[in-house]
Amino acid sequence: MTKPAKVSVLFVCLGNICRSPSADGIMRRQVADAGLAGLVAVDSAGTGQWHVGKGPDARATAHAAQRGYDLSPLRARQFKAADFDRFDYIIPMDRQNLADIEAQQVRPYGGQLALMLDYLPAGYPKPGVEVPVEVPDPYYGGEDGFEQVLDLLEAATTGLLADICQRHGLTQPSGA
C-alpha cells in the first residue's frame, strides 16, 4: 500500500527567530500528541535574511521551554518562492509577512495561504472581546510579549490542526 503523503505546513514571520519558530515548536508537539507526526510535516521561515542559520531568540526559547516546547534544534532560514511548491499551508504571522510572501508569488498557489490568527477557534479569547488579527512582533518588546505570542499561537495552531484534519481526512485529535 502506498504511504499517504504528508500534509506540509510552513509558518512565516520576519526574522524566523521569535514567532514562526514558536509556532513550529508548538505545532510539532500538537501533531505528535495527536499521533500525526508521520502525516503532518512542520517547518518555519522568515521573510528577512538577517538571522539565517541562527537558532531562535533566547527569550523565545526560554518562554517556550517553560511550556514544554523545545525550540533549540531549529535554525532560521529565509522564505523562498520554491516554498510555494513544497507546502500545503503557508501561514504568515502578520499582514506585512503576508504581503512579502505574495510579492514572491509568480503563479496561482494551490495551497492555503492565510494569516495565523485566521485559525483562532471561534469565540477566542471570549465572546465580546475583540479578536486580534496579527501575532504581534515581540522582538523589541518585553518578556510579557513572548507570553502573549505563545497564548495566541497555542490557540491558533489548535484551530489549524483541526482544519488540516478536516481538509485531509485525518482523524481529529481529541479535544479539537
Residues lying near ligand 4NP in the complex (CB under 6 A): 13-19, 46, 50, 137, 139
Q: Say which of 18, 19, 29, 43 is annotated catalytic.
A: 19
Q: CA-CA-CA-CA torsion for 133, 26, 10, 157, nearest 10 degrees?
A: -40
CA dist 118 → 42, 121, 134, 157 (Å): 18, 9, 9, 10
Least distance in Å: CB of 112 to ligand 4NP? 21
Least distance in Å: CB of 138 to ligand 4NP? 7
Least distance in Å: CB of 118 to ligand 4NP? 18
Residue number with CB closer to ligand 4NP (21 or 159): 21
Q: Are 164 and 7 in contact (CB under 8 A)?
A: yes
Active site residue 18: no
Q: Which amino acid, 9?
A: V
Residue number with CB closer to ligand 4NP (49 or 172): 49
Spatial CA neighbour of 161 closest among 101, 73, 97, 91: 91
Q: Which residues are catalytic?
A: 13, 19, 137
